[in-house]
């Protein structure tokens, strides 16, 4: 049985998907890609010797800017108010590659999120694509560069009730490490004034701990104090309330939470948190 194309109507004409009946949930899209550089170009970029300036910084900003313009570039894409677009570029050596061009590359990773009714995978793909093209714009140095392997590597949102407000574990590499030395800490009410300062310290002092900050962001909380750790690889923020036993169980079991710190001033967590803790 063949699935129906989502962007066509019953007569086969192009059609924008109606998402008005979908729930607004936290949605995340992640994409990766590479641009093959060759050693000479790779060395010039690494030492920041390109005449046009800091190539990687410009490419990173270009990718972030492009993610916000996706609906203007891709027909029938929804216009989405993004919550965040993050783009990282790493110069890598592909040791098993055959040629000089393939061995020395820049790997681009884009992670885009929003609170909305449709996913942001295309925004992540566009971010990677434009970032790679921006690097290629130094073509006077090497016209043999090749953009390759752009693909979606993860998405979350719009699934079961328990997953709607939770990030799928494959989105974040390293969250489910099996080492007994890793601790997964859930902090509720972590965007409050005191809690946010505490989280900043443990994220910085304990890089081997995975810190999950859960807060509903009401009138007495803010993410301002947490901006400097928002990109830390061991820090994850989840917006919402712990009001469902199923949801709490999902966090505790899927994310292997072994430590819970409750900072919320109110008792909106209720008995769900207590009844879901497994010792």
Catalytic residues: 137
Helix, strand, coil % (nearest 5) of the chain?
30, 25, 45
111-134: b (≥16 Cβ within 10 Å) or e: bbbbebbbbbbbbbbbbbbbbbeb
DSSP H or E run through 66: helix 55-67
Q: Does residue 154 sit in helix, strand or coil?
A: strand
Residue 42: count other Cβ atoms within 10 Å of its Cβ.
Answer: 21
The H helix count followed by the E strand count for the chain is 8, 8
Q: Please state at what angle helix 55-67 crosses helix 121-136, rounded to 10 degrees.
A: 150
Instruction: Note whether 33 and 132 are within 8 A (CB).
Output: yes
Q: Give whole-number Cα distances, 153 to 105, 165, 225, 239, in Å.
A: 19, 19, 30, 23
Instruction: Note whether 269 and 242 are within 8 A (CB).
Output: yes
Residue 210: name the closest of 264, 162, 279, 257 by CA. Answer: 257
φ, ψ for residue 272 (rounded to 5)? -60, -40
Q: Does residue 274 sit in helix, strand or coil?
A: helix
Q: Does residue 171 sit in helix, strand or coil?
A: helix
Distance in angstroms (rounded) separating the CA atoms of residues 256 and 250: 9
């Amino acid at each position: 049985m063949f699935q129906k194309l989502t962007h066509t109507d019953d007569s086969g004409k192009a059609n924008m998907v109606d998402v008005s009946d979908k729930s607004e949930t936290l949605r995340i899209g992640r994409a990766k890609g590479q641009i093959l550089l060759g050693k000479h170009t790779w060395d010039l970029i690494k030492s920041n010797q390109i005449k046009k300036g800091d190539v990687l910084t410009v490419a990173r900003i270009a990718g972030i800017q492009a993610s916000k313009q996706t609906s203007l570039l891709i027909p029938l894409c929804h216009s989405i108010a993004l919550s965040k677009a993050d783009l990282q570029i790493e110069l890598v050596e592909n040791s098993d590659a055959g040629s000089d061009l393939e061995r020395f590359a820049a790997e681009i990773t884009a992670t885009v999120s929003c609170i909305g009714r449709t996913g942001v995978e295309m925004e992540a793909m566009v971010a990677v694509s434009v970032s790679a093209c921006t690097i290629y714009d130094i073509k006077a140095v090497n016209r043999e560069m090749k953009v390759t392997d752009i693909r979606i590597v993860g998405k979350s949102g719009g699934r079961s009730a328990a997953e709607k407000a939770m990030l799928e574990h494959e989105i974040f590499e390293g969250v489910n490490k099996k080492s007994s030395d890793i601790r997964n800490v859930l902090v509720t009410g972590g965007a409050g004034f005191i809690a946010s300062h505490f989280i900043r310290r443990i994220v910085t002092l304990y890089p081997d701990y995975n810190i999950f900050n859960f807060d509903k962001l009401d009138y007495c909380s803010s993410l301002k104090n947490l901006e400097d750790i928002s990109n830390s690889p061991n820090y994850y923020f989840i917006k919402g309330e712990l009001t469902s036993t199923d949801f709490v169980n999902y966090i505790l079991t899927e994310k292997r939470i072994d430590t819970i710190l409750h900072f919320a001033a109110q008792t909106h967590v209720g008995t769900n948190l207590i009844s879901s803790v497994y010792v």
